[in-house]
Amino acid sequence: MSFVMTAAEREAFLSGVHVGVLAVERDGRAPLAVPIWYDYVDGEVLLWMERDTVKDRNIRKAGRFSLVAQSEEWPYRYVTAEGPVVGNDEPPTREQALAITRRYLPEADAAAYVDGALGDRSILVRMRPEKWLSNDQSKSG
């Protein structure tokens, strides 16, 4: 029996609301692994962050990253998506920032968060997954 998700299952799961864990290579140290809000739209992982942060610098240098999303309740499931960065020089629009934030906060809180955090240093990082890992324990029976 395989616990591996189909392409449609893993994309549906990644589209759901999960705090992701960003993993990116860095020189001479363990990979950077940090929780992050994300969105998955039209086959791309979208991250909103500030330019020149540790995350941004490591992603720029590596040119790729992985994102894992998981469910923390039974039946356990996870999806890991890995791929190249296909964009990281554009600021997000207010709507793009809101789309990410609305996944995690109620509407009024999301708008307030975006209005306070969206600024000149904001960037939208886009990654197109090429490699996938997945596991769905609900397939156990």
- Do the beta carbons of residue 46 and residue 38 sit within 8 Å? yes
Q: What confidence tens digit (pLDDT) does each residue in 87-141 have? A: 888 999 999 999 999 999 999 999 999 999 999 999 999 999 999 999 999 987 6
Output the pLDDT for position 125: 98
Output the pLDDT for position 140: 72
Q: Does domain 7-136 have CATH number 3.40.1550.10?
A: no
- Residue of 89 and 8 predicted with greater confidence: 8
Residue 60 — pLDDT band, cuts 50, 70, 90? very high
What are the residue boundaries of the structural domains of the chain, listed by start? 7-136
Compute φ and ψ for 22, nearest 5 degrees.
-80, 130
* pLDDT exceeds 80 at position 78: yes
Per DSSP, the three-state class of 141 is coil
* pLDDT exceeds 90 at position 42: yes
Output the pLDDT for position 141: 61
Output the pLDDT for position 100: 97
| CA within 13 Å, CB half, 134 | 21
- Residue of 88 and 67 predicted with greater confidence: 67
